Amino acid sequence: MTSLMKPGAPDRRRVRTHGGTAGPRGGGRTAPHPRRKSSRAPWLYLAPALVVLGGLLAYPIYQLGLISLFHYTQAQVSGGEPTTFEGFGNYARLFGDEQFWQVLLATVVFAAACVLCTLTVGCALAVLLTRVRAVPRLALMLAALGAWATPAITGSTVWLLLFDADFGPVNRLLGLGDHAWTYGRFSAFFLVLLEVVWCSFPFVMVTVYAGIRAVPSEVLEAASLDGASQWRIWRSVLAPMLRPILVVVTIQSVIWDFKVFTQIYVMTGGGGIAGQNLVLNVYAYQQAFASSQYSLGAAIGVVMLLILLAVTLVYLRLLRRQGEEL
């Protein structure tokens, strides 16, 4: 965190101390440092976006944090009981709940598996797209876009039907009789993983494909002239060149898959047999909205936010350490 701030911090200080004098009159003078002249301009340009972001992001997050510090249920919202300040009581209750830790662990492992599979499938198909002719490429693109465009609820329902114990074609194809896929913990998670990967790989595929297209063909040609295998080309040429794109799709996937809700909710009937397939988001929904314990739900939300921020920051920092500019 601090090392990330360091390069920016002195700059900001300088801007602040000189900004006053260089302000309105500064424009007419020939400024010794061109930087001073425009010290306010970037902020002016950014202002509309900042106002929108502040309103749509900062304020709700502030409210979320605020609510998580109170005892705030439906009775408090509708004025049946006074709102009481609890400090970190909700967090203490959450961290003292054994189920929360189980759900957190399941969420992390499940999200990691989803991210890994999504990236693998997405990248593999992106490379494949560059190697096939126009017609199959178009077909693959259309199929992927179809999957991408399918609403999560529809997709989940269709997958569930495909794997239905009584009527599902998958069981008939594999000769599994009336095997129930959603009964076992891992098979239910596996089913959801398939759906999550199916509906999120197109984003990775399209983005990475666009990235590969931007790589100069001479580089690839040179690599294959040197006798590099497909895997070698990906590993030593494409992946390093596509790094910024891969970073974006990885972070996106991490955030998406960590927050998965619809698929689990629909496919495992709100968390599976005895709650074995609960992930954090569904758990938070159960606590916050179904049980009207808004403050506890807010606390779960804050914890999720912090985890995702931490993951993103650690990931960015690891990349910086490897000397990559983003």
Partner 1 sequence: MKLSARTVAVAAVLATAACAPQTSGTTSSDKDEKTGTLRVWLFQEVNNTPKEQVVDTVLAEFEKAHEDTEVTVEYIPVETRAQRIKAAFNDPGSAPDLIEYGNTDTAGYVKDGGLADVTEEFAAWDEAADTDATARQSVTVDGKVYGAPYFVGVRALYYRTDVLDELGLDVPRTQAELISTAKEIRAARPDLYGIAVGGAYTYGAMPFIWAHGGELATGKGGSYASAIDSAAARKGIEAYTSLFGDDNCPAAKCAGMGGNDTVTAFASGKAAMAIGGDFSHAAVEAGKVKGKYAVVPLPGVAAGSVAPAFAGGNNLGVLKSTSHRTLAVDLMKRLASKKAQGALFEGMGFLPTFSDVRQQAAAKESFVKPFVDTLAADTKFVPASPAWAQIDSSQVLPTMFQEIVSGKKSVAAASGDAARKMNEAFGSAG
Q: Are 148 and 199 in contact (CB under 8 A)?
A: yes
**Beta carbon nearer to partner 1, 151 or 269:** 269
Provide, rounded to whole angstroms, the least separation between the CB of residue 128 and partner 1: 37
Provide, rounded to whole angstroms, the least separation between the CB of residue 293 and partner 1: 7
Provide, rounded to whole angstroms, the least separation between the CB of residue 289 and partner 1: 8
- Among residues 153, 173, 149, the alpha carbon closest in space to that of 162 is found at 173
Residue showing tokens 């003078």 = 29
Number of Cβ atoms within 10 Å of the Cβ of 212 = 19
Q: Are 276 and 188 in contact (CB under 8 A)?
A: yes
- The structure tokens listed for 258 are 């960590």
- The structure tokens listed for 15 are 């801007």
Eight-class DSSP state of 29: S
Question: CA 257 to CA 145: how far, in whole Å?
Answer: 19
- The structure tokens listed for 284 are 């938070």
Q: Are 109 and 255 in contact (CB under 8 A)?
A: no
DSSP per residue, 284-309: HHIIIIIS--HHHHHHHHHHHHHHHH
Distant-in-sequence, close-in-space partners of 199: CB < 8 Å, separation ≥ 6: 147, 148, 150, 152, 155, 263
**Beta carbon nearer to partner 1, 69 or 129:** 69
**Beta carbon nearer to partner 1, 100 or 201:** 100
**Beta carbon nearer to partner 1, 19 or 270:** 270
Question: CA 87 to CA 85: how far, in whole Å?
Answer: 6
Eight-class DSSP state of 269: T
**Beta carbon nearer to partner 1, 253 or 293:** 293
Provide, rounded to whole angstroms, the least separation between the CB of residue 8 and partner 1: 13
Contact residues for partner 1 (CB under 8 A)?
A: 62-63, 66-67, 69-70, 72-81, 83, 85, 165, 178-180, 182-183, 269-275, 286-287, 290-293
Provide, rounded to whole angstroms, the least separation between the CB of residue 133 and partner 1: 45
**Beta carbon nearer to partner 1, 62 or 186:** 62
Provide, rounded to whole angstroms, the least separation between the CB of residue 248 and partner 1: 30
Provide, rounded to whole angstroms, the least separation between the CB of residue 17 and partner 1: 17
**Beta carbon nearer to partner 1, 150 or 276:** 276
